[in-house]
């Protein structure tokens, strides 16, 4: 039988994983932004943009992913408090 303490521990670990995921997504967002800036600068010397369309599409999805992580973290934290 699983105790309430075991469940709280699992929820705390889940929160830490979600915080790590948030930091990783933010780091990826920053790295992608930097790559796009470099490619935009390099594109000034070319007749076409060097920025792959997928980079721009990926950049637009970061906000949704971060919102999902934050929402999940809030729900897990709320459940942990309620226990």
pLDDT tens digits for 3-60? 888 999 999 999 999 999 999 999 999 999 999 999 999 998 888 999 999 998 999 9
In this predicted structure, what is the pLDDT of residue 45? 87
User: What is the DSSP-derived secondary structure letter of residue 10?
Assistant: H
Q: Which domain holds residue 27?
A: 4-82
- Give 60's Cβ-side CA count (13 Å radius): 5
Count of structural domains, the chain: 1
CB 46 within 8 A of CB 35: no
Q: What is the pTM of this model?
A: 0.84
pLDDT (tens digit, 9 = 90+) per residue, 54-83? 998 999 999 999 999 999 999 999 999 998
């Amino acid at each position: 039988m699983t105790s309430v303490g075991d469940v709280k521990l699992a929820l705390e670990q889940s929160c830490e994983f979600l915080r790590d995921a948030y930091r990783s997504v933010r780091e990826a967002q920053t790295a992608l932004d930097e790559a796009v800036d470099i490619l935009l600068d390099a594109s000034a010397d070319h007749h076409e943009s060097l920025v792959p369309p997928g980079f721009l599409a990926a950049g637009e999805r970061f906000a949704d992913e971060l919102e999902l992580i934050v929402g999940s973290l809030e729900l897990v934290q709320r459940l942990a408090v309620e226990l």
